[in-house]
Structure 1
Amino acid sequence: MHTQLMNETFQLLQAECSPKAGITLDIDRTEILDTESLLNSYDLAYERKVHLLALYTILSLATSRHKDCNPSDPNLTRKVLDGDYLYSLYIQLAVQFEEIDLISYLAPHIKKWQIRGAEGHSGVQLLATCLEQFLDLEFRRDTYTTTVEQVG
């Protein structure tokens, strides 16, 4: 199943991912639908949903590329370079989308995922949890700021 949000996200990623990188964006649509559902549970502008879903997708792909890195794997170099490229694309797009707070929040988690990924563990479920925690914190902060402004 493809939704408009998912289609726009995929178009954005196709446009931003350099063809020279030679990376196939093999995206788990079920995972993306779950993340889309999460984003739809918050009062976010549509464009921001596209941006956050794109950033989530890139991080998910980067994590999966770094997963199961075995020194004897003939594709090891390709996996590492693909993952590194996708992580750098995440930073580039997050800055472009002005999601600096997201970068700051996820940075320590991403480093842990990279280490765990090198050990053969998946960080994708953790990514969804961290995105939800980030949005919860952001909405709690916005609610607090609005309340203070109304009282003040």
Structure 2
Amino acid sequence: ETAVRKYLELHFEGIDEEHDEMLYDRSRTFNRSFSKLTEYGYDLKHGERSLAPDMYHLDHRHNCQYIFDAKYYSKLNELNHKQLVYHFLFANRAAKTYDALIMPYEGKTDTRIHVQINPSWLPGGSMQLEDVKIYLNRLNMVDVLNSFITE
């Protein structure tokens, strides 16, 4: 999680919505801050367990937010309910919310759509939701670890 956070902070460029792709640029440094929401004073507890995304970034300039969760396993066979809950809990914090599950991968980094929900399927209310998309970003771990060690 620490190595992935550092890689995102240094090399995550953004999300290309037209091609549904998370963009990274190793030739540039972005110095973006991703942190746990507990650092913002957010702490949702259920018994002894806490519910908070691994990595969060609020981009005030573009009025968007990024909610990412790093996974240590390399296969995802079912819906990740927590990520969907995060989307709904934080939807009103910015005009646009980007969600992604980030998994280690041995091949070339790629992005897929893990979940997509049309807003017409959702109940009306105070949230102004566009398409709800949760990306699955398979991130090449050699790149991540090389970046972690050298930068």
TM-score of the pair, normalised by structure 1: 0.30
Indicate the structure (1 or 2) with the bigger Cα radius of gyration.
Answer: 1
**TM-score, scaled relative to structure 2:** 0.30
Structure with greater strand share of residues? 2
**Which has the bigger relative contact order, CA under 8 A and spacing at least 6?**
1
